[in-house]
Amino acid sequence: MIEAVSVPTSLVLGHADGTVLVDESADGSRHVSVNPTDAGMFVAVRACSTRYPPELIKRILGVKGIGYLCDEIEREERPGYLQHVLWWTVRGHLTEQELSGRRILDFGCGSGASTMILARLFADAEFVGVDIDEPALGIAEARRRHYGLSNVEFRRSPSELELPPDLGEFDVVVFSAVFEHLLPAERPIVIPKLWSVLRPGGLVLVGETPHRFTPIETHTTGGLPLINYLPAPLTLRIAKRFSPRLWADATWEQLLRAGIRGGSEGQFLAILRKAGFDDAVLRRPSAHHSVRDEFDLWYEISHVNELPGLKSQLRSAFRFLKRTTGVSFTPYLSFAVEKTGSPAQP
């Protein structure tokens, strides 16, 4: 008797910036390795393992390129990456029971990694992912089909300043790693529109946005100190000179779009007040949702990758700062804003 044996195969994907080798294992997983033509090219992650089919890997490569192919795959598949962040961003304010049956907007969903993760974590909720980037939404929809999820749909915004028509209302708006990428002129327009589709009693969850005045700018430049306190022309000059992430002809608007200026809780609330909304209340995490305060939440989100000991000490320092001055500060924001009123029933 001859037993059939699955033989691993390899696939080489060509790209303008290099090649990608996809090795298929006997168990159906695939190992992806990135080989840029230019050895000095920035590549966020050079190798990864995935369950994605070759067609989805090709689609991501065509949109994200050599530099961010594996990073985009790991964002959605590696539990210690985006899943860890989203779990704590949501669970810092809401329990699974409170999310059951709710309608949730994932605004700025991009390629759908965040929406896929949320839909798996909270399978009893309904999710709508919204973004303006049509190629990215193509990846998002391909991911949805790959997983066969029925509690997710994706919609495209007509412009940076508009929401899709007939979007309906939501119990929760997830605003994760998006606030910082809105230009200063866009924030006063987009945020009130999001508030308008939030039901009374609902929450906007803001996460993974760098604080506007964090001493070390890690988000866009990779770790340049004190540039958040400098005027724009000088910040631009220093960032282009010393950050390996930036290109020589980068403009200030491009850096703003990349998120270099971050945001703050006060700025978010001020935008709503200026737009005439007086029903916005900052809601802090509580022990009911697994963490005591915003400092515990920042620690749980941030320490997973590096320096847990140092970040534990920073958590104590941030808590002391608030106790003595009333100022709440964490390098990256994670907070909830509640729309006061009677909560809608699912």
**Domain residue ranges in the chain:** 10-77, 81-212+262-339
pLDDT for 8 equals 58
Q: What share of the chain in percent tops pLDDT 90?
A: 85
pLDDT of 206 strictly over 90: yes
Which residues are within 8 A (CB) of 286 and not within 5 positions of it... i.e. 6 or more apart? Answer: 292
C-beta separation of 104 from 171 below 8 A: yes
pLDDT of 300 strictly over 70: yes
Phi then psi for residue 212, to 5 deg, are -55, -30
C-beta separation of 156 from 131 below 8 A: yes
49-99, pLDDT tens digit by residue? 999 999 999 999 999 999 999 999 999 999 999 999 999 999 999 988 999
Reduced to 3 states (helix: H, G, I; strand: E, B; else coil), residue 294 is helix
Per DSSP, 8 falls in state P
Give the orientation angle of helix 113-121 with respect to helix 54-77, to 10 degrees: 60
pLDDT for 339 equals 97
pLDDT of 288 strictly over 90: no
pLDDT of 108 strictly over 60: yes
Rounded to the nearest integer, the mean pLDDT of the chain is 92
222-243, pLDDT tens digit by residue? 999 999 999 999 999 999 999 9
Confidence category of residue 305, pLDDT binned at 50, 70, 90: low
pLDDT of 221 strictly over 90: yes
For the domain 81-212+262-339, what is the CATH superfamily, name and number?
Vaccinia Virus protein VP39 (3.40.50.150)
- Please classify residue 148 by burial: count the beta carbons closer than 10 Å to its beta carbon, then call 0-12 exposed, 13-18 middle and 19+ buried: exposed
Whole-number Å distance between alpha carbons of 64 and 50: 16
The whole model's pTM is what? 0.91
pLDDT of 303 strictly over 80: no
Could you tell me if residue 219 is left (phi over 0), alpha (psi between -120 and 50 degrees) or otherwise beta?
alpha
Q: Which of 161, 167, 166 is closest to 106 using CA atoms?
A: 167
Please state which of the ranges 136-145, 173-182, 263-272, 299-308 shows the lowest mean pLDDT. Answer: 299-308
Which residues are within 8 A (CB) of 343 and not within 5 positions of it... i.e. 6 or more apart? Answer: 171, 199, 200, 201, 202
